Chain A
Amino acid sequence: MLLTVEDIQTYYGNSHVLHGVDLEVGAGEVVALVGRNGAGKTTTLRSIMGLTPPRSGSVRFKDQAIAGEKPHRIARRGIAYVPESREPFSLLTVEENLTIATNPRSPWQLDQVWQWFPALKEIRDRKGGHLSGGQQQMMVIGRGLLTGPELLLLDEPSQGLAPVIVETVVEMLKDLRKSNLSVLLVEQSIGVALDLADRIYVLNEGRVALHARSEEIREDPSRLDAYLGLSAT
């Protein structure tokens, strides 16, 4: 397995958020984490990335223990994180936001990002703080890929975006599947998650409540009802 997370316990101050999450992501695999708000999805990604390090448990990437390492070291190992809040560098232009992350050994370079998101190329000189939500999302996904990751942690890429932008992002992520990139995707939209992922983990109150292949969920969407309170259509 490329990424193995075992029994991680993560806290915000005294608040115990993750109560022993276990998950795995294989090479070239897209895995989705779904669950209600507050279930611990974003915290799981932040724990893997070292932004909110787990107090106990193990995170292994390419058979190396990475829990407790600084985020920049984890990034250099080949993990890119695209946060839900997007967080563009507002003082840098779109192009600078992208080139600051460029790793010459990355299979994706700036031209590829312009190809995926031609709208970004048109505003390459605009400051990162002056972008719409969709433009920010495209930019930060591009920025993540330019670091040349083997694993992309993607938090709510469709959150708050217009349907046409969601479509562009989903098409781009499908395109990425051909490149053997592994993706751990947090997604509120079950439709998007099922469309993209090979396997799905459902988190509930900081624990993995269900783990299944996507086709199993598609065959019986009612399996999610107990955790999400809606039918997975």
Chain B
Amino acid sequence: MLDNRLIGLVLALAGVIVAPLLLPVANATELLIFALVAASANLLIGWSGLYSFGQAALFGIGGYAGGYLLANTDLALLLPVVFGGLVAAVFAVAMGAMCVRRVGIYFIMLTFAFNQLVYYIAYSWRDVTGGEDGLFGIERPGALLPGLPEIDLNVPINFYILVAVIVGLCFLALLRVVDSPLGQILLAAKDNPRRAGSVGYDIHAAQTLAFAISGFFSGIAGVLYGMVYWIMPIDAVHWLTSGYIVFMVLVGGTSSMFGPLIGATIFILLQDFFSTLWARWPLLFGAVIIAVVMFLRGGVIELVSHVRGFAARRRAMRGEAGNA
């Protein structure tokens, strides 16, 4: 288990180093940001069995809250980033506390409704969100914290490194969450909520806490997203973005926190890379979903266990041949 985790972290680190060499730096930065959103969504989808179609609301609220501070104040960078996370977490508590009381399609519809609610607030509250035009003027302040020396984050690779560090720390924190008793309670509740309640846990409280944590990290990702192109576009809170996030989680795989990282990579390659090569790139979305559903029900991450199983069978067959 630890070996798998270590291998995953090494591969993720290698990916972070290689990405800006293979992709435009802005696309590589987006990849990291969506990897964080997808991983935080997996706390709900993979660990809690809660198929939320409201993740874009959390992502967007964080982006607008932090982006508003970055556009209108001279605060050092980390304060708006944390503020965006906290505002999203507070909204996530309200959203989660209501949604977790329903299951299945009703849960999905409630999260979808919350997403649309946030979308129309963002659409109509032009003074704060910029409405349909998006929130303009988001700055990338040089200082991370007051008193620290300035780094010019308008240099793309500097900003990429900063995003990599923040996303890396958030991802490690998410790994800690899923290893904690809370992670086990969420898994137990996903498996059998009534039984988990009989063991003495308030399942709704645990799931609401998962929403809050997921919202916090999605909110941070939202603030970083606003800084990539100096604008928080209204599309970021559209339900389609929630759909894309679910796509990333499911295609990458829900059984491991590393799955969504793979899913986000596939998404960015399809959306930002192949779209420049082929105008009909959305067809690839459908093809990928069909391929995963037909052949890799647990997502692309299941390829690892398939390959390991295949290698083990090969070794066993060789051993039998040797004995014969």
Chain A's closest residue to B192 (CB) is A87
Contact of B195 among A70, A76, A87 (CB under 8 A): A87
Within B195-225, which residues are at the interface with A (CB < 8 Å)? 195-203
Contact of B188 among A75, A76, A89 (CB under 8 A): A89
Contact A51 B194 (CB under 8 A): yes
Contact A89 B200 (CB under 8 A): no
Within A127-144, which residues are at the interface with B (CB < 8 Å)? 143
A101: interface (CB < 8 Å): yes
B122: interface (CB < 8 Å): no
Contact of B199 among A51, A91, A143 (CB under 8 A): A143
Task: List A contacts of B198 (CB < 8 A).
Answer: 49, 51, 71-72, 75, 80-81, 83
Contact B191 A91 (CB under 8 A): yes
Contact A75 B195 (CB under 8 A): no
Contact B200 A92 (CB under 8 A): no
Query: Once the chains are docked, how many angstroms separate the CA of A167 from the CA of B269?
Result: 60
Chain B's closest residue to A101 (CB) is B199
Task: List A contacts of B181 (CB < 8 A).
Answer: 100
**B residues contacting the other copy or chain, number (CB 8 A):** 18
**A residues contacting the other copy or chain, number (CB 8 A):** 22
Query: Once the chains are docked, how many angstroms separate the CA of A91 from the CA of B256?
Result: 12
Chain B's closest residue to A102 (CB) is B181
Contact B185 A100 (CB under 8 A): yes
In the complex, per-residue mask of A143-159: 1 if CB is within 8 Å of any chain B CB, else 0: 10001000000000000
Within B143-200, which residues are at the interface with A (CB < 8 Å)? 181, 184-185, 187-188, 190-192, 194-200
A90: interface (CB < 8 Å): yes
Chain A nearest CB, measured from B209 CB (Å):
14
Contact B190 A72 (CB under 8 A): no
Task: List B contacts of A49 (CB < 8 A).
Answer: 198
Contact B185 A72 (CB under 8 A): no
Task: List A contacts of B203 (CB < 8 A).
Answer: 72
A96: interface (CB < 8 Å): yes
Query: Once the chains are docked, how many angstroms separate the CA of A80 from the CA of B196?
Result: 12
Task: List A contacts of B188 (CB < 8 A).
Answer: 89, 91-92, 100
Contact B194 A89 (CB under 8 A): no
Known: A72-B202, A72-B203, A87-B192. A92 touches B184 (CB 8 A): yes
Task: List A contacts of B190 (CB < 8 A).
Answer: 91
Known: A51-B194, A87-B195, A89-B192. A147 touches B187 (CB 8 A): no
Query: What 4 pairs between A and B have smallest CB-CB spacing?
Result: A75-B200, A89-B188, A71-B197, A72-B197
Chain B: residues with CB nearer than 8 A to chain A? 181, 184-185, 187-188, 190-192, 194-203
List 21 interface pairs A-B (beta carbons < 8 Å), by A numbering.
Answer: A49-B198, A71-B197, A72-B200, A72-B202, A75-B197, A80-B198, A83-B195, A89-B187, A89-B188, A91-B188, A91-B190, A91-B191, A92-B187, A92-B191, A96-B184, A99-B184, A100-B188, A101-B200, A103-B200, A147-B199, A147-B200
